[in-house]
Each structure stands twice: as structure tokens, then as C-alpha cells.
Amino acid sequence: MKKIANIFLALTLICLSAGAQNAVMTGSFQFTSDSRRMGTIVLQSSVQRFEFPISDNVLIANLLPGRYTLDIEIRGASKGRRTTKLSQNIDIESERRTICRLNASGFLSFNKDFDRNSMPIFVNNFRDDRRDFDNRRDDPKVVVVQPPVPQPISEFDFNKLYNAVRIENFSDTKMRTLKTSSNFYQYFLSDQVKMLASLFTTDDDKLECAKYLVPKVLDVQNLPYIQEIFTFKSTKDEYLRFLNRM
């Protein structure tokens, strides 16, 4: 039985390691305009900023998922014409391409298409002709972004989170604090998940905590070892089944 369990753990490690390179998925943003307006487009997040003229048809590939601000300044064609400013928050989603169109009346429209693995689509900034970007005019200028290397929650922030959960007296408030506070941090390490889950008393609560945080873990090869925090074999087995379904 022990040999079978070891084989099962080894297979789990292999599967997770194979998927480690896909742990950080990306999306992309495309801007098109129905008219040759004058002005500037600014797309920015907390870590990246892109600026280009409205006249360009631009595709920014390989963006990290998250909330971005889109600012558009439209300048009048003649002197004295007023400047129009548009600002909107947009969410870049993994494996999806967010398409923004500015029509002749100055209104924005958005839609999303599947954009799986946006980085491999482009080689030396040439578009794969098999992909249809539905452009009404010129092919887009392609900007392939090398995303920042993801970093886990800092030690300072982790200690704040850990203590916020620790001081709660009841399991339901512990769990609510954990889920609410952890949403503000994008990535964790497996050891950090073990520490947070160990703040709970029962295996059921520990398992719920682990399941909630596992999708945010960077060192996926260490995920199976989180089972060490569980007391009962049945909980360990349920946790490993959860990993195999990811």
C-alpha cells in the first residue's frame, strides 16, 4: 500500500511540474479605430504603461491578467475644437483578447475573443495568418510584452495576513478573514499556505483553506507536500484528488 501511495505522489508531482510553465497565463489587448482621429491612447496597470496614437491599430500581447485603466484623449481636427477625454477600467483576462473599438462618433465598444498562449502566436513580430483579428484596416502593430516575473506575497505582508487570521477566535471568522484578505495578494508559496492552513483546528477547515489558496501558489512542484498538515488519511487523499482535478 505504501508503494502505491508513493507512486501516486510521484505521478502527481510529474503532472504538476509539467504544468508549472503555464502557471502564469496571459491575455492581450487590441485597439482599433473606425476613423483617423487625432489623439492618444494610454493603457496602464500598477506595473506597466503603454502609450500610442489613436491612428495606430495596436495589439499588445502577453499582458498579465488584472485591472487596467484605459485613457483616451481625442483632439479636435481644427484649432479651437475641444478635446474629448475618455477613461474606463478594463479587466484583462487570461487566454482572452480584449478588443476595444473607437467608432466615428467617439464611442467605445468592447468584446473578448479566445487568445490562448498569446506569446507563441507571434514570431519576430509577424502575425500568424491562421489567426483572424477581424481588423477593418491595417494589420495591427504588435507589441509582445515580456511579463514581470511573478513574486509571492512579501514577508511583511504575509506576517500581517497571518496575524490577522491568527487573532480571530472562531473558525468561521478566521476563514472569512483569510479569504477576504488573501484576495489582495496575487501569489503565495506552498510553505505559506501550510502556515495559514495550520491556524485552523479541524482537517475540514485546513482543507478548505488549502483549496482556496492553491490556485495562487507559484512553486507548484511543492503542492503535494501540503498534505503534511492534515491529520487523517481521508483528508490527505481528498486533497490529492483535488490537485489531480486542477
Query: Which stretches in the chain have pLDDT values below 50?
Result: 1-23, 117, 119-137
Same domain, 158 and 122: no
The CATH number covering residue 43 comes to: 2.60.40
User: Do 17 and 124 belong to one domain?
Assistant: no
How do 49-53 and 108-114 pair as beta strands?
unpaired
What letter would DSSP give residue 41?
E
What does the pLDDT read at residue 75? 78
114 shares its domain with 193: no
Query: Do 6 and 29 share a domain, yes or no?
Result: no
- Tell whether 115 and 165 lie within a shared domain: no
DSSP 8-class letter at 111? E
Whole-model pTM above 0.75? no
**Domain residues for 215?**
2-21+151-245
β partners of residue 33? 102
What confidence tens digit (pLDDT) does each residue in 86-138 have? 889 999 888 889 999 888 777 888 988 887 545 443 333 333 433 444 434 45
> Residue 117: left if φ>0, alpha if ψ -120 to 50, beta else—which one?
left
One domain for residues 114 and 202: no
Q: How far apart are CA 21 and CA 44, in angstroms?
A: 25
CA 116 distance to own-chain centroid: 13
Say yes or no: 131 and 38 in one domain: yes
Tell whether 157 and 113 lie within a shared domain.
no
